[in-house]
Structures are given as C-alpha cells and as structure tokens.
Amino acid sequence: MKSEHTVLAAEALLQDSPATTPRVPHAVLQGVTRKFGKAGSVFHALGPIDLTLYQGEFFSVVGPSGCGKSTLLDTLSGLASPSDGTVQFENREVKGVPDGVGVVFQEDASFPWLNVRDNISFTLRMRGMEGAEIKRRVDYALAFMGLKDFATAYPAQLSGGMRQRVCIARTLVQQPRLILLDEPFGALDQQTRLLMGDELLRLWRETGATVLLITHALDEAAMLSDRVGVMSSRPGLFIDIVETGWPRDRDSRVVSTPRFGEVNARLWERLRVESLKVMGASHG
C-alpha cells in the first residue's frame, strides 16, 4: 500500500514552518519487513516499509495495538535485523545498534540498586569512558533533566516521571544523534505526560537530534511532532503521514489551537478504521 502524504492547511501561527528548511535524510528504511517463525508458520509482523527520517525532525508513529510499532523501532535501532530490506543510518547500513543512536523504552528501565548518578553513567562506565568526561556529561544531564538535587537518590525514592527522566538522561549522556523512544510516557498521568512532552521538545531542540517517538496517545503525537506516521493493522504499513507544520519553538500550549484539533481529528480518522479491524479480528 502506498503512503499518502497529507499536508494540513497552514495557520498564521506557523510562520517558520519546518517544511521550508531543506531535508537531509538521516535514517532510511527501504523495503523493510519483519517475519517471525519458521517456514510453514511464518508470522508477518511488519512491512514492507519505506521511510526516511530527516535530520533533526521529530517523527512520531501511531498505530493500532500489535501493528508492529515496537518491531519497527527494534529494526531501526539495530537491536533486530530486518527479514527483508535495508536500514541505513547516516548513509551506513545498520548492523547492531550504531554509535549515535540512543533508545528509551516504555518500562521504567532504571536500575533499582544504583543511585541516580550511577544509573545515568552506567552505559558510559560500561564503555570504559574516562572518569572526568563521564562526570562532565552526567553533571550536564542531571542539570538538564532537573535531577541535580536527586543525584544520590535511589529510583524507589522518585516518582514515575522522575524515574523516566533518569532513563532519558542515561540516553542523553551518550550524545545520540538519533533518539528512539518506545512509549516513554505510557505509565504517567496526563499532566506529567504533557510536561514530559515539553522536556522532550526542549531536549530535541537543544541537541538538534532526530527523534522517533512511538506512542499510543494521538494527542501526544499531534502536539510534539513535525510528522506523524499512521500505521495500518498488522502487518504494519504506513497508511498516512501527517505533517503538523508546528514551528520548531513549540510547546504543549499548541493543544489549545484549532490546528491541534485538526491534526488530532485527522489522525483519529485514519486510526479508527485500523483499530476497528483489530477489534473485529479479536471478536471473531
């Protein structure tokens, strides 16, 4: 199925629309599929997917449950190989997680036995990085994520939102150029999610990284992204890519604009049909 690119009508708010800046491909998937199982009982989970993420863009993926969103992220990150097709990051074929790619998972992935500072520095220490450089990066991440006063606290002493900040900080210290997030705010309440969305936008703006966010929440995708890819029910394909047209300097207050409602409605219109297919399949 071909992707249909939808550009929603512009608003006066959007004077520096990212569409005016040249797009440089950063990560490219071509003909990517994922199939599980062996000959005779092959389970086709994903694709074929053709997708280009552009340098510095914020791209979100929404789709019905089980359509292959996490499978897509695993493949893009190099945690898993495609069954067919190729994945490229910065013009090189991805084999294993490349240097420059950071992943943040849904579940609270902090280590309960390590304090905040040691959680954040964990990956750098595993890589054998020099102590002074680790300290410099961790101090920066602690300040950036508002965790400075909690450096010696343990995860059990923190709220869910703070623990997720620790996980984001752990990715941030690796100075990723591509950040992949799989439902990072799924377990948080609505206000915390909105505020964490603002944190993520700030991180995206200040690092200049390319961001791919997997989310169940259409409002989160509509608020945060430059583009939102809508996936079909399994095997997941992109059936629509919606350009929001938000300026780079945006925050959660876009939710009160008419345009936000327009983007949200567009996403739901496409997703509703796909979600009904999944429900129909599970009912009969």
Ligand X SMILES: Nc1ncnc2c1ncn2[C@@H]1O[C@H](COP(=O)(O)OP(=O)(O)OP(=O)(O)O)[C@@H](O)[C@H]1O
- Summarize as ranges the residues that interact with ligand X (CB under 6 A): 36, 43, 45, 63, 65-71, 234
Which residues share a beta bridge with 103?
A: 180
| Least Å from the CB of residue 68 to ligand X | 4
| Least Å from the CB of residue 34 to ligand X | 7
Distance of CA 78 to CAs 7, 109, 179, Å?
Answer: 31, 19, 13
Q: By C-beta, is 38 or 92 nearer to ligand X?
A: 38
For residue 40, the one-letter residue type is G
Q: By C-beta, is 70 or 164 nearer to ligand X?
A: 70
- CB neighbours (10 Å) of residue 4? 12
| Least Å from the CB of residue 35 to ligand X | 9
Q: By C-beta, is 155 or 229 nearer to ligand X?
A: 229
Residue 165's nearest CA partner among 208, 130, 116 is 116
Distance of CA 265 to CAs 3, 26, 49, 271, Å?
Answer: 18, 29, 24, 10
- CB neighbours (10 Å) of residue 87? 23
For residue 67, the one-letter residue type is C
| Least Å from the CB of residue 274 to ligand X | 11
Q: By C-beta, is 8 or 278 nearer to ligand X?
A: 278
Q: By C-beta, is 7 or 276 nearer to ligand X?
A: 276
| Least Å from the CB of residue 65 to ligand X | 4
